[in-house]
Each structure stands twice: as C-alpha cells, then as structure tokens.
Homo-oligomer: A and B are copies of this chain.
Amino acid sequence: MRSEVISVRTGARASVVDITEEAAAFASGLGDGLLHIFVPHATAGLAIIETGAGSDEDLLASLSDLLPADDRWRHRHGSPGHGRDHVIPAFISPSVTVPVLGGHIALGTWQALCLVDPNGDNPNRQVRFSFISD
C-alpha cells in the first residue's frame, strides 16, 4: 500500500481547507483503486463539499449553531468551548474514501476534498493519503 502524510496549514481560526489538489497529486499515475484520506487528529474531520461559493463558511456556521463553543461541554481542556471541537469528528469523520480511475480521483464536478478544522489552537495539521488497488 502506498501511504504518505502531508502537512496542511489551517491557521489560528476555524477553517475549511481545500486539499483536492494534494490528493490529486498523490493519486496521479497510480491507476485504478481507492484513495483513503485520514486525519490523525481528535479535533478535525474531512468533508467533500463545493468550495468557492460560500458553502465552506456555511459549514462552519452550521457547526457553530449545532455544536456551540459555549460552557456545556464536559471536556474542559484548552480554550473556552473547545469541548465542542472534540465532538465534531463524530459528525464530520476524519476518514473518507474516494475512487481513483486511471490515476485521477473521480470526484464530481462541484466536489472538493476538504479538511475541516474548527480548532484554532492547532494551526498545523497532518493528513494521511493511502492508496489501495486489486
């Protein structure tokens, strides 16, 4: 299995970072198979959404509405409200798989692979790409 870790800068605020190009570069030339993408962090996830038309901000706003950064959380390490960052990966999984055909990731026209990082306390993240074929 080919497997590789990249570093992604997500910055000091909640962010959605498009990593489609990095995934495409990893899969390039690898033929047919499945690309597994994994984030080895407890406060980040992966989403396949459209970027560049507001949906990345809409997603962050939804997460703030549904899982607010207030004082309800039992998990109390880190910044106030940080407990919600630990619940988000249950909903926005750190694991996703996409098909690869002829070395090209087979996303739809409007789909982008995104790292969702609600946690401004960790400005640098890792993402693991793994490729498996028959």
Q: Which positions in A face B, CB cutoff 8 Å?
A: 1, 3, 32-34, 36, 38-42, 47-50, 53-55, 57-59, 61-62, 66-67, 72-77, 83-84, 86-87, 89-99, 101, 106-111, 116, 128, 130, 132-134
> What residues of chain B lie closer than 8 Å to A106, measured between beta carbons?
38, 40, 128
Distance (whole angstroms) from the CB of A71 to the closest CB of chain B: 12
Once A53-B77, A73-B54, A75-B58 are accepted as A-B contacts, the answer to whether A42 and B110 lie under 8 Å apart by CB is yes
Quick check: A94 and B74 within 8 Å, CB to CB? no
Quick check: B76 and A108 within 8 Å, CB to CB? no
Quick check: A96 and B98 within 8 Å, CB to CB? no
Whole-angstrom distance between the alpha carbons of A48 and B40 in the complex?
A: 10
> What residues of chain B lie closer than 8 Å to A97, measured between beta carbons?
36, 38, 95, 97
- 23 A-B pairs with CB atoms under 8 Å apart are A1-B33, A34-B36, A34-B130, A34-B132, A38-B97, A38-B99, A39-B108, A40-B106, A40-B107, A40-B108, A42-B50, A42-B55, A47-B93, A48-B89, A54-B73, A55-B74, A55-B75, A55-B86, A58-B73, A58-B83, A58-B84, A132-B133, A133-B134
